Amino acid sequence: MARPAPGADRSVAVLDLMASHPDERFTLSEVARRCDLNKATAHALLSALADHGVLLRHPAEKRYSLGPRLVAIGDAARRGYTALDFLPPLLDRLVARTGFVARAWHRQDDQVVVVAQSPPRRAGGDEVRLPLTPPVGALFLAWSDSPSVEAWLARAPAAEAVRPALDALPALRRLGFALTLASPEWRALTEPRPPGSTAGAPPDDEAPGEEVRRLLAAVARQRVLAADVDPAATYLPAEVAAPVFSAAGRAELTLAVTVPAGVDLTGRQVLAVGREVGATADELTAAVRGRRPAHT
C-alpha cells in the first residue's frame, strides 16, 4: 500500500482551487481557508509553487494565480494518453456483457465519427461520419451551454427537428444515456456499407453527399430520441449510448451499443443496457480524469 503524501495532496488542492476559478487571484489567507490549511503550511506551499513557475504571485496585490509552467505541462499531457487509448478493452467488455456491437463516436468540430468498434468493421467498409445536426449528436450537446445548443439547433435540416431535439436534452441528462429508436433512414445513416453499395435505395444518379442530406432530412422529421424509458413497454432500438467527459467537462466521445435490425427490447432490458453503457462511459471518464459538468 502506497504511503500517504500530504504535500502532494495539498498541492493538488491548491491547483484545483485555482483551475476552478481561472479568472480570480487568491490571497494567502483565502487559499489557506478554502483548502483547509494553516497559514504557515499554505505560505510554504505557495512560495515553493511560485518559485517553480507553477503559480504566479502578483507583486503588488500579493495574490496568487496559475503560472506559465502549467502551459508546457498541459501541452505534454495532451500528447499523452487520451480516452481513445483506453477504448479497445472497454468496447470488448461491452460486447461480452450486452451481446451487441459496441462503438465509440468522437466529436470532431462539427462532425461525429466512429473511431473504434468491437468487433472491428469489415475490411473495405465506409467510414461512418455524420454532420453534427439535430438529432445527430444530442449526447454531445446535452450538457453544453445555451449558445452551443442554439448553434446546433440552427443547423437542423428541417424545422420539425428543433423542438424534439431540444425536448430530448433534459431527458438525456436525467437518464444519463440516450436511447435512439430504429428507423430505416437512421440505420442507413449510421451503419457502414461496403464501397459501391447504397443506403435507403437512393436514385441511381444521387451523389453521396446528397444521399446523406436526404437521410438527415428524413430522420429530422422522426422522433428517434426517446424522451423516457418505460420498464413495461417494448422498444425497437437502434443504439444505446452514454457520454465520456474530458477534464474540461466537455463530451467529446460517446460509447454506444448498436442493436441489430428487427430486435426489440423491453424497457427493463433497455435500462439494463443503459446502465452498463453508462457505467463503462463513467469508468473511461474517471480514467482520463474527466468530470461530468453541472448543467447551466
Domains belonging to the chain, first-starting first, are: 6-78 (1.10.10.10), 83-287 (3.30.450.40)
pLDDT in tens, 118-153: 998 765 556 789 999 999 999 999 999 999 999 999
pLDDT band for 68, please (50, 70, 90 cuts): confident
Please give the model's pTM, rounded to 2 decimal places: 0.73
User: Per-residue pLDDT averaged across 39-63, rounded?
Assistant: 91
The predicted-structure confidence for 19-41, as pLDDT tens digits, reads as follows 888 889 999 999 999 999 999 99
Place of cell 450538457: 143
Tell how many helices (H) and how many strands (E) occur in the chain: 11, 10
CB 160 within 8 A of CB 135: no
The percent of residues above 90 in pLDDT, for the chain, comes to 63
Percent above pLDDT 70 for the chain: 88
The residue type at 271 = L
Residue 198 has pLDDT above 90, yes or no: no
Contact 134, 162 (CB under 8 A): yes
Residue 257 has a CB neighbour count (10 Å cut-off) of 25
- Give me 289's grid cell: 480524469
**pLDDT surpassing 80 at residue 62:** yes
Residues in contact with 290: Cβ distance below 8 Å, sequence separation at least 6, in sequence order: 83, 244, 245, 246, 247, 249, 284
Residues 171-200: what's their mean pLDDT?
A: 79
pLDDT at 199: 42
CB 98 within 8 A of CB 273: yes
